[in-house]
Amino acid sequence: MSVYLPTELRQQLEKADDRCCAYCQTLQANSGQRMVPDHIMPESQGGKREFENLCFACRLCNEYKGAKTTGIDPQTGETTALFHPRQQNWADHFAWEEAGTRLIGLTAVGRATIITLNMNNGIIVPARQRWVSAGWHPPKH
Protein backbone atom coordinates (compact mmCIF):
# COMPACT_ATOMS: atom_id res chain seq x y z
CA MET A 1 0.00 0.00 0.00
CA SER A 2 1.37 3.36 -0.99
CA VAL A 3 1.10 6.02 1.69
CA TYR A 4 1.68 9.71 1.07
CA LEU A 5 3.91 11.34 3.65
CA PRO A 6 4.95 14.98 3.78
CA THR A 7 8.67 15.36 3.00
CA GLU A 8 9.53 16.43 6.54
CA LEU A 9 7.85 13.38 8.10
CA ARG A 10 9.47 11.04 5.58
CA GLN A 11 12.90 12.48 6.37
CA GLN A 12 12.25 12.14 10.08
CA LEU A 13 11.42 8.46 9.58
CA GLU A 14 14.42 7.84 7.35
CA LYS A 15 16.66 9.34 10.00
CA ALA A 16 15.08 7.33 12.84
CA ASP A 17 15.02 4.00 11.03
CA ASP A 18 18.20 4.50 9.03
CA ARG A 19 16.55 3.16 5.88
CA CYS A 20 16.04 -0.24 7.42
CA CYS A 21 12.95 -2.19 8.45
CA ALA A 22 12.04 -1.31 12.05
CA TYR A 23 10.92 -4.92 12.58
CA CYS A 24 13.30 -7.32 10.82
CA GLN A 25 16.13 -4.80 10.24
CA THR A 26 16.44 -5.57 6.54
CA LEU A 27 18.32 -2.73 4.91
CA GLN A 28 16.66 -0.94 2.04
CA ALA A 29 19.92 -1.30 0.13
CA ASN A 30 19.82 -5.08 0.60
CA SER A 31 16.13 -5.52 -0.15
CA GLY A 32 16.33 -3.65 -3.45
CA GLN A 33 12.95 -2.13 -2.61
CA ARG A 34 11.93 1.09 -0.99
CA MET A 35 10.85 0.72 2.63
CA VAL A 36 7.17 1.46 3.13
CA PRO A 37 5.69 3.57 5.92
CA ASP A 38 3.95 1.26 8.39
CA HIS A 39 1.18 2.44 10.68
CA ILE A 40 2.04 0.78 13.98
CA MET A 41 -1.59 1.19 15.04
CA PRO A 42 -3.53 0.83 11.78
CA GLU A 43 -5.46 3.81 10.50
CA SER A 44 -8.55 1.59 10.48
CA GLN A 45 -8.20 1.34 14.27
CA GLY A 46 -7.65 5.04 14.81
CA GLY A 47 -3.86 5.13 14.35
CA LYS A 48 -2.69 8.56 13.26
CA ARG A 49 -0.34 9.41 10.42
CA GLU A 50 2.30 10.93 12.70
CA PHE A 51 5.86 10.07 13.67
CA GLU A 52 4.93 8.32 16.95
CA ASN A 53 2.71 5.91 15.03
CA LEU A 54 4.84 5.35 11.94
CA CYS A 55 7.94 3.38 11.16
CA PHE A 56 9.60 2.11 8.03
CA ALA A 57 9.07 -1.54 7.24
CA CYS A 58 10.09 -3.85 4.44
CA ARG A 59 7.28 -4.95 2.17
CA LEU A 60 7.10 -8.44 3.64
CA CYS A 61 6.81 -7.29 7.25
CA ASN A 62 4.28 -4.67 6.23
CA GLU A 63 2.16 -7.18 4.32
CA TYR A 64 2.24 -9.87 7.00
CA LYS A 65 1.46 -7.32 9.70
CA GLY A 66 -1.55 -5.96 7.81
CA ALA A 67 -3.97 -4.52 10.35
CA LYS A 68 -2.77 -6.72 13.21
CA THR A 69 -1.67 -5.28 16.53
CA THR A 70 -1.39 -8.56 18.47
CA GLY A 71 0.01 -12.03 17.92
CA ILE A 72 0.33 -15.36 19.72
CA ASP A 73 3.45 -16.11 21.72
CA PRO A 74 4.34 -19.64 20.55
CA GLN A 75 5.90 -20.41 23.92
CA THR A 76 2.81 -19.75 26.04
CA GLY A 77 -0.02 -19.64 23.48
CA GLU A 78 -1.08 -16.28 24.88
CA THR A 79 -2.09 -13.26 22.85
CA THR A 80 0.35 -10.39 23.21
CA ALA A 81 0.85 -6.96 21.67
CA LEU A 82 3.20 -6.78 18.69
CA PHE A 83 6.50 -4.93 18.94
CA HIS A 84 6.08 -1.14 18.94
CA PRO A 85 9.16 0.39 17.27
CA ARG A 86 8.56 3.86 18.74
CA GLN A 87 7.84 2.79 22.32
CA GLN A 88 10.05 -0.26 22.71
CA ASN A 89 13.72 -1.00 22.19
CA TRP A 90 14.42 -3.57 19.44
CA ALA A 91 17.31 -5.26 21.27
CA ASP A 92 15.14 -5.87 24.35
CA HIS A 93 12.87 -8.12 22.29
CA PHE A 94 14.94 -9.58 19.44
CA ALA A 95 18.35 -11.03 18.83
CA TRP A 96 20.12 -12.65 15.91
CA GLU A 97 21.12 -16.27 15.87
CA GLU A 98 24.85 -16.53 15.78
CA ALA A 99 24.92 -16.96 12.01
CA GLY A 100 23.05 -13.68 11.61
CA THR A 101 20.35 -15.13 9.39
CA ARG A 102 17.47 -15.92 11.74
CA LEU A 103 15.82 -13.77 14.38
CA ILE A 104 15.12 -15.03 17.88
CA GLY A 105 12.42 -13.60 20.14
CA LEU A 106 13.71 -12.76 23.61
CA THR A 107 10.29 -11.88 25.03
CA ALA A 108 6.64 -12.72 24.40
CA VAL A 109 6.42 -9.54 22.29
CA GLY A 110 9.47 -10.54 20.25
CA ARG A 111 8.32 -14.13 19.71
CA ALA A 112 4.77 -13.12 18.75
CA THR A 113 6.06 -10.46 16.35
CA ILE A 114 8.47 -12.87 14.64
CA ILE A 115 5.67 -15.39 14.06
CA THR A 116 3.00 -12.86 13.05
CA LEU A 117 5.25 -10.95 10.64
CA ASN A 118 6.89 -14.18 9.46
CA MET A 119 10.27 -12.55 9.99
CA ASN A 120 12.22 -15.75 9.29
CA ASN A 121 10.41 -16.48 6.05
CA GLY A 122 11.76 -18.53 3.17
CA ILE A 123 12.60 -15.48 1.10
CA ILE A 124 14.45 -13.39 3.64
CA VAL A 125 16.54 -16.12 5.31
CA PRO A 126 18.36 -17.17 2.09
CA ALA A 127 18.83 -13.48 1.27
CA ARG A 128 20.39 -12.90 4.71
CA GLN A 129 22.67 -15.89 4.10
CA ARG A 130 23.95 -14.22 0.94
CA TRP A 131 24.45 -10.87 2.69
CA VAL A 132 26.28 -12.50 5.59
CA SER A 133 28.58 -14.43 3.27
CA ALA A 134 29.28 -11.13 1.50
CA GLY A 135 30.38 -9.57 4.80
CA TRP A 136 27.12 -7.99 6.01
CA HIS A 137 26.50 -7.93 9.73
CA PRO A 138 23.06 -7.36 11.18
CA PRO A 139 22.80 -3.85 12.59
CA LYS A 140 22.72 -3.59 16.37
CA HIS A 141 19.87 -1.37 17.45
Q: Residues in the site for Zn ion, rule: CB under 5 A?
A: 21, 23-24, 26, 58, 61
Which residue number, 58 or 108, has a Cβ lying nearer to Zn ion? Answer: 58
Least CB distance to Zn ion at residue 139 (A)? 12
User: Cβ closer to Zn ion: 24 or 40?
Assistant: 24
For residue 88, which amino acid is it? Answer: Q
Nearest distance from residue 24's CB to Zn ion, in Å?
Answer: 3
Q: Which residues of 54-79 are buried (b: 16+ CB within 10 A; e: fewer)?
A: bbbbbebbbebbeeeeebebeeeeee
Whole-number Å distance between alpha carbons of 138 and 95: 10
CB of 22 to Zn ion, least distance (A): 8
Taking the complex as a whole, how short is the minimal distance between the CB of residue 30 and Zn ion, in angstroms? 11
Nearer Cβ to Zn ion (25/53): 25
User: What's the Cα-to-Cα distance from 102 to each of 54, 72, 85, 121, rounded to whole Å?
Assistant: 25, 19, 19, 9
Nearest CB to Zn ion, comparing residues 24 and 82: 24
Rounded Cα gap, residues 89 and 140, in angstroms: 11
In DSSP terms, 94 is beta-bridged to 105
